[in-house]
């Protein structure tokens, strides 16, 4: 057996594109490396979005305006895009 169908994307791929797993019948995980990596990225993005929302609420309880909250968050979440931060602020607090 030199290939296997990925359980997530349903594409037949070479066994080298699957992580090893000694307890599986063919010695490989059921999801290909690409699908697993995508799942991890999505989980990290969801976790980051939750952290962002919590921080927005904390800063608003301190009496900061949405524009000041944006300034703080741009420093705390430098990898976050301006649009994603402003959208989160607008969703939770409304417009400035």
For residue 17, what are its two tokens?
Answer: 């594109």
Strand, coil or helix: 93: helix
Domain locations in the chain?
A: 3-93
pLDDT digits (tens, 9 = 90+) for 22-66: 787 777 788 889 999 999 999 988 898 899 899 999 999 999 999
Give the integer Cα–Cα distance in Å for 19 and 21: 7
H-helix or E-strand spanning residue 34: helix 33-61
Helical (H) or strand (E) element with 73: helix 66-76
Q: How confident is the model at residue 1 (pLDDT cuts 50, 70, 90)?
A: low
96 confidence band (pLDDT: 50, 70, 90): very low
Q: What percent of the chain has pLDDT over 70?
A: 95
pTM over 0.85: no
Q: Per residue in 75-91, pLDDT tens?
A: 887 776 788 888 888 98
How high is the pLDDT of residue 95? 56
């Amino acid at each position: 057996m030199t290939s296997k169908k990925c359980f997530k994307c349903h594409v037949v791929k070479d066994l080298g594109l699957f992580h090893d797993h000694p307890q599986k019948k063919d010695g490989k995980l059921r999801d290909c490396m690409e699908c697993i990596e995508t799942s991890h990225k999505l989980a990290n993005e969801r976790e980051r979005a939750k952290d962002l929302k919590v921080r927005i609420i904390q800063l608003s309880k301190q009496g900061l305006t949405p524009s000041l909250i944006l300034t703080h968050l741009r420093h705390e979440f430098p990898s976050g895009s301006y649009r994603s931060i402003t959208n989160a602020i607008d969703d939770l607090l409304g417009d400035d």
